Amino acid sequence: MGRVRRTSLRTEIIISTALLVGAALLFITILLIRLGENDRLAEQVRSYRTQSRILAHALAQLDPAAQQRVLHNLRAEESLRALLLVNDTLEPAAGRWSGDAAEKAQVRQFLRRALIQSEPVLELRHPASWLEPSGAEAPGLQVARGFQGMTGKQALYLHFPLQQVRARTLEQLQLALWICLGYGLVLIGASTHILRRAVITPVEALTGVTEALMHGRCGVRVDPEGPREIATLGQSFNQMATSLEQNQVEQRRQVEELEDKNRELSATRLSLMQAARMASVGHLASGMAHEIGNPLSAVLAYLDLARRKGCAEECTDLLKRADAEARRIDHIIRDMLDYAASDTSPAHKAGKDCPHSDPVQVIQETVEMLRHQGVFKQRHLQLDLAVQLPECCIPPNHLQQILVNLLLNARDATAPDGNIQITACAYRETVELAVQDNGSGMSREQQQAAFDPFFSGGKRGGRGLGLFVCYQQLKECGGDIMLSSTWGEGSCFTVMLKRPTGKDEENP
């Protein structure tokens, strides 16, 4: 189906107004001109009748010679088309017959009737319509009047032209049509202006704000101008727009609430999943700890027996180091058992009963242990430690485990010939240790998930528990850890440890 072309409201109103106004003006004009023409025609007929009566009365007082002279003079007048004077036998007394046979017969009939009756005989010929062309029978008035002259009964025939009446009417009609056209244009212009101000402009404004509302801009409003109906329509539209805006605000609020609830549910779901996985890890760690504990105790006993039997100095040093590492494994296993058996949050343990450790000694022992294991091959390690650092509230084995995790992560993040730096300083209430590298760095998403369990961003494919364990162990002792990283430039982990209370120690 083809597209239907629709005209605008303005065009339809203008066309309708123009047709109605034009028809009304044309009808009134034609009516007035027709009435004026009838009045002029009646006036002209009265004038011609008066002239015929005066002329007949004058001819009745004259002898035939004088009548001939008068009629001869009257034939030169343009106001007469025909003039004839006959006696009672219809013989011309002055003038002569003219025209064709039909016209002569008609004139004879006129004269005969005038001789018989005392009243004048009249015949008016005038077009019934202005569109009727002027043919052989031109507009005119024929008058036949009988009278008693000196020589007997006589009849006078006069034919007066009426073209001037029709010409005057046509001139007035033409002038009236031009006046109607001008007035109609003025009226159309005025009506167009009024319609534009009262209808078109408010409707266009309402259309514009409707399109804006359709595109989602609910803040638009229309100025309720124009007639009462248009203003009421504008007010109703404003109320509808206000209601839509309120509904959109309420809808956005509900959507935001739903999104918040969804995020909370997602976070809760993730927390439950992590708790379930951690519970599984705890049960697994508890079982593994029990299984590893027995052979580890045997290893410690064998190492003690070998050290008592006496060996070379080099063997004694190796046995000592092996014994220390085995005991560290034993501490880690016991911590795993304690963590798996804990029913409360570890943060409540951060009290005065938390074991203390010397951070400088733990750092040096950890670095020495990792160097013997070849962790820092093709890496440049730099220590920047204060001369004296106060003790901090954390078990030594926990602090060592934290440092081991951070240093291994730094080693994995750096390329060969990379730099790793350890700094330590003390403040009024805390001791801060920082492990910094110039490795690949971490993205924003990786930084946000770095301390989540089972998240691993390392290149060696770890299990994602190292930083999580560090975070948990620090929280147990009231400490904290912070991460700052720039992609492609490196990372820095800052460990903040609480200082023991009740000791007067000076700040460096």
> What are the phi and psi torsion angles at 356 (to 5°)?
-105, 160
Distance CA 68, CA 91 (A): 14
The H or E element containing residue 461 is none
User: Residue 344: its pLDDT value, please?
Assistant: 41
Question: Radius of gyration (Cα) for the chain, nearest Å?
Answer: 64
Distance CA 424, CA 382 (A): 12
Residues 74-94, buried b or exposed e (16+ Cβ, 10 A)?
A: beeeeebbbbbbbbeeeeebb
Distance CA 338, CA 344 (A): 11
Residues 28-62, buried b or exposed e (16+ Cβ, 10 A)?
A: ebeeebeeebeebbeebbeebbeebeebbeebeee
Tokens matching residue 188: 């159309």
pLDDT tens per residue across all 508 residues of the chain: 445 455 555 666 676 777 677 777 777 777 777 777 778 778 888 888 888 888 888 888 888 888 788 877 877 666 677 777 888 777 777 665 566 677 778 888 878 888 888 778 888 777 665 555 555 456 788 888 888 888 788 888 888 887 777 777 777 777 777 877 787 787 777 777 777 777 777 777 777 777 777 777 777 777 766 667 777 777 787 788 788 778 878 888 899 999 999 988 888 887 777 666 666 666 666 666 656 665 766 676 666 666 666 666 667 666 677 776 776 676 666 656 555 555 444 444 444 567 888 888 888 888 888 888 778 888 888 888 877 889 898 888 888 888 888 888 888 888 888 899 999 998 888 899 999 998 888 888 887 777 776 666 665 545 556 777 788 888 888 888 988 888 888 899 999 999 887 543 444 4
Tokens matching residue 323: 């014994």
User: Residue 503: its pLDDT value, please?
Assistant: 46
Distance CA 458, CA 450 (A): 10
Please list the residues that pair with 357 across neighbouring strands: 392
Tokens matching residue 406: 């951070």
Which contacts of 193-199 are long-range, i.e. CB under 8 A and separated by 24 or more positions? 195/10, 195/13, 195/14, 195/17, 196/10, 197/226, 198/226, 198/227, 198/230, 199/9, 199/13, 199/226, 199/227, 199/230
Q: Say which DSSP state 196 is in.
A: I
Distance CA 197, CA 472 (A): 76
3-state helix, strand, coil in the chain (%, to 5): 60, 15, 25
pTM above 0.75, yes or no: no
Q: Say which DSSP state 340 is in.
A: H
User: Residue 305: its pLDDT value, please?
Assistant: 67
Burial degree of 492 (CB within 10 A; 0-12, 13-18, 19+) = middle
What would the CATH number be for the domain defined by 350-498?
3.30.565.10
Burial degree of 8 (CB within 10 A; 0-12, 13-18, 19+) = exposed
Q: Where are the domains of the chain?
A: 9-125+139-182, 350-498
> What are the phi and psi torsion angles at 455 (to 5°)?
-100, 125
User: Domain 9-125+139-182, what fold?
Assistant: Beta-Lactamase (3.30.450)
Distance CA 316, CA 5 (A): 106
Helices (H) and strands (E) in the chain, counts: 11, 12
Tokens matching residue 401: 């485990």
Whether 9-125+139-182 and 350-498 share one fold: the answer is no
Mapped onto helix, strand or coil, the DSSP state of residue 122 is strand
